Amino acid sequence: MKPLPLAILGIAAFFGLLAGCDSSAKPQEPGANPAAQLQAIPAPDSGKYANLRDMRGWQNPYLIIRKDGIALLDPADSLEIILKPDEVLTRLAQLPPAAWPYGRVVAVRENSAQNADDGVAIRRNRGLLAGSLDEAHVSIRWVPSS
């Protein structure tokens, strides 16, 4: 009867190790808190962008709230990188310091809702985004929808 408990213990240990080897999990670096990393960016300097009328001249990160997530506009090629709301701070923290000439501020606009369901999803994503940016002390310059 002794081999049975050892076999059960061995199987349990094997599955425990297997569960710990999730290949999709990315190791977190110590102190890799995106909100803390964003604090290294200087506070917003509204004098650098207050008189900016045409958002095509905006040089800081530009976010677009969509029904399927949050798009980070890549100004180099006008591509939208679609992110989940909980990925936005991490992506912003990965941007180089040169991407923040106005300080810790982002431009944000909403996509127009096509139907009621889209509107609900956009409002939900807006709330999630605004909350996470506020917690990270990132200012928002709201841009009217086109």
Chain segment 58-69, per-residue pLDDT in tens? 999 999 999 999
Which residue range forms the structural domain that includes residue 61?
34-142
The verdict on residue 17 lying in a domain is no
What DSSP element (H or E) covers 72?
A: strand 69-74
The verdict on residue 120 lying in a domain is yes
The verdict on residue 20 lying in a domain is no
| Distance in Å from the first CA to the final CA of the chain | 74
Total number of domains constituting the chain: 1
The verdict on residue 70 lying in a domain is yes
Show the tokens assigned to 4: 């049975």
The verdict on residue 6 lying in a domain is no
Alpha carbons 107 and 23: distance in angstroms, whole number = 35
pLDDT tens digits, residue range 80-118? 999 999 999 999 999 999 999 999 999 999 998 788 889
Closest CA to 143 of 33, 54, 39: 54
pTM: 0.76
The verdict on residue 38 lying in a domain is yes
The verdict on residue 16 lying in a domain is no
Alpha carbons 19 and 16: distance in angstroms, whole number = 5
The verdict on residue 29 lying in a domain is no
